[in-house]
Chains A and B, each alone.
Chain A
């Protein structure tokens, strides 16, 4: 039996407390009024914007937004090192100049690109300025929520990814992995607290405590309103708060129920006389995987893609899946290595670690394949309502957007391609840390551009939220590991797994 070392427990509590403080600071520091925003902008990054304005249009202070946008777009057009920004920013210049109405339809109401639409004519420039400030206010008010949301969904999906991996092991009757089942069950224990907190966040969004999901605003689908958005209106059969929360509840309840039954049968198998509990888990795994592949797609549309309600990508579900699946496998490898370094799991040998590292390598490549397939088709076809997704990311999120590719693809590719490296603890741990950070950034890139726009920053609220959920994750996972022996001795494949070697 594993005992939760007091050092690690203290560490997890420290993380949770510091994280909670960070989250609190994030909410307290969020501006309350337009005046706050004005002061903030004047104090900080407004400085460089003002510099642009002076150069480009010194007299038109109030139209600085459009001047700035055009300037940025021109800069991109000249700078040939930006991979996809080139043509697309030429497009956005065109939008800013003559097709403001189209842009207003084609882009989400809360988008930073909406600046373009504001600057229609000088006559309204004072209103525009106010509107812009209000817009930034909403983004900054969203920021602590979005930070919380990203960290929350990331850790919850890690446990979902591990649950899927675990179900695959059962469905495939894999012989190498049963020795790791208790580690996987420990990680999936986080699913329950993780999904409860996550569901609370979704309900909070549904009750308009935050504006992470612009389509939840009833004004957006009200034809009488100035905020009316035809595209969202046409999608309102799917994008409605009631349907959204009901689907989320069903998906989370089924996932948690499946996890509960898996664990129950797995524990029952330890003292069973025949393989009945094992067979139940086999059937459950088959059911779960079918349910999972559908529910996972739906959840990725609802919880992630719908923050950009105008944009859609048909392989988005797979792409999200690859991201949290590789993160889940990485966490399995890292926790296994941690337990092994503490003297537990004596039957786990380098062949098991090698297999996990192969999965880390393979799924990293798979993630890249999907990421690139999505990117290249949208980049190539260059359809305005699709390509805005990448334009915002390349214009405002250059570092996380391209940095993530280095972390999630180039680094694992180069370091894990060598057979011998996959057996070395420090290599696997180092690659694991990079992969996990990279996929956090991946989720950051999925949520932030639509919710906080160009006001993003990885600061106290983001790191606080990450620390809080990491602390909770460590606490829940390692508590669950103490509840049962680390070797599932009743599993029919356990002997094969113990002697797994190649």
Chain B
């Protein structure tokens, strides 16, 4: 079976959005879309599952909160109780207001950094990664839609030309 794909290139995000809707209506399988910038609503138009990154962030926040709570409890209460400004030093809850900024920052730090790292891993991005986009123009001002070829090739090409693509190519994918 051939591993051919169609590369339909657009030069406007609104045209791209309409093309995506038409392609989905015609039941062609969109494999990937390369854009120079995030296009609002594209994920919904492509029918991608909603991101679960927010849930991850919430959990990371809770992890950060508990780590920093434990840390402050160990450092300031258990291991070496410190008397700062005459505050009671043998009870975490009595000292809690002083630790709130630290607990808050820890929550934010963990949620933010781990969320970014998760996002990179999920998008298969890491340092020295080779670019995957098939056409350099998608880093400038063009949008590329990659669609698998499963039926009549010529019909597909004319279909994509009719959706407003400035260029339609059939490529053998490795």
Question: Contacts of A83 on B, CB cut-off 8 Å?
Answer: 93-94, 96-97
Q: Which residues in window 284-315 of A have CB below 8 A to B? A: none
The interface stretch among A94-102, A137-145, A376-384, A469-477 is A376-384
Question: Contacts of A81 on B, CB cut-off 8 Å?
Answer: 93
Per-residue CB proximity of A67-92 to B under 8 Å, as 1/0? Answer: 00000000000001111101100000
Closest A residue by C-beta to B54: A419
Q: Which residues in window 353-399 of A have CB below 8 A to B? A: 372, 375-376, 379-382
We find that the number of chain A residues with CB closer than 8 angstroms to chain B is 17
Question: Contacts of A82 on B, CB cut-off 8 Å?
Answer: 94
Given contacts A419-B54, A502-B40, A502-B41, contact A380 B94 (CB under 8 A): no
Sort chain B's interface into a size bin. 10 to 19
Q: A86-B94, A87-B86, A502-B41 are in contact. List 15 more A-B contacts (CB 8 A).
A: A81-B93, A82-B94, A83-B93, A83-B94, A83-B96, A87-B87, A376-B101, A379-B97, A380-B87, A380-B97, A381-B85, A382-B85, A417-B58, A419-B54, A502-B40
Question: Contacts of B87 on A, CB cut-off 8 Å?
Answer: 87, 380
Q: Does B88 have its Cβ within 8 Å of any Cβ on chain A?
A: yes
Per-residue CB proximity of A93-134 to B under 8 Å, as 1/0? Answer: 000000000000000000000000000000000000000000
Question: Contacts of A382 on B, CB cut-off 8 Å?
Answer: 85-86
Question: Contacts of B93 on A, CB cut-off 8 Å?
Answer: 80-81, 83
Q: Contact between B100 and A376 (Cβ–Cβ < 8 Å)?
A: yes
Q: Does B91 have its Cβ within 8 Å of any Cβ on chain A?
A: yes
Question: Contacts of B98 on A, CB cut-off 8 Å?
Answer: 376, 380
Question: Contacts of B88 on A, CB cut-off 8 Å?
Answer: 86-87
30 example contacts (A-B, Cβ-Cβ < 8 A) are as follows A80-B91, A80-B93, A80-B94, A83-B93, A83-B97, A84-B97, A86-B88, A86-B91, A86-B94, A87-B86, A87-B87, A87-B88, A372-B97, A372-B100, A375-B97, A376-B97, A376-B98, A376-B100, A376-B101, A379-B97, A380-B87, A380-B97, A380-B98, A381-B85, A382-B85, A382-B86, A417-B58, A419-B54, A502-B40, A502-B41
Question: Contacts of B54 on A, CB cut-off 8 Å?
Answer: 419
Task: State how many angstroms separate the Cβ of A498 from the closest Cβ of chain B.
Answer: 18
Task: State how many angstroms separate the Cβ of A373 from the closest Cβ of chain B.
Answer: 10
A residues lining the B interface (CB < 8 Å): 80-84, 86-87, 372, 375-376, 379-382, 417, 419, 502
B residues lining the A interface (CB < 8 Å): 40-41, 54, 58, 85-88, 91, 93-94, 96-98, 100-101
Closest A residue by C-beta to B101: A376
Task: State how many angstroms separate the Cβ of A27 from the closest Cβ of chain B.
Answer: 40
Question: Contacts of B94 on A, CB cut-off 8 Å?
Answer: 80, 82-84, 86
Closest B residue by C-beta to A369: B104
Task: State how many angstroms separate the Cβ of A390 from the closest Cβ of chain B.
Answer: 10
Kindly state the separation between the CA atoms of A81 and B85 in the bound complex, as whole angstroms. 20
Kindly state the separation between the CA atoms of A81 and B93 in the bound complex, as whole angstroms. 7
Among B40, B86, B87, B97, the most chain A Cβ lie within 10 Å of the Cβ of B97
Task: State how many angstroms separate the Cβ of A12 from the closest Cβ of chain B.
Answer: 41
Closest A residue by C-beta to B40: A502
Closest A residue by C-beta to B86: A87
Task: State how many angstroms separate the Cβ of B167 from the closest Cβ of chain A.
Answer: 30
Q: Contact between B85 and A380 (Cβ–Cβ < 8 Å)?
A: yes
Question: Contacts of A86 on B, CB cut-off 8 Å?
Answer: 88, 91, 94
Question: Contacts of A375 on B, CB cut-off 8 Å?
Answer: 97
Task: State how many angstroms separate the Cβ of B156 from the closest Cβ of chain A.
Answer: 31
Kindly state the separation between the CA atoms of A376 and B95 in the bound complex, as whole angstroms. 11
Closest B residue by C-beta to A381: B85
Closest B residue by C-beta to A379: B97
6 nearest interchain CB pairs? A376-B97, A86-B94, A80-B91, A379-B97, A86-B88, A80-B94
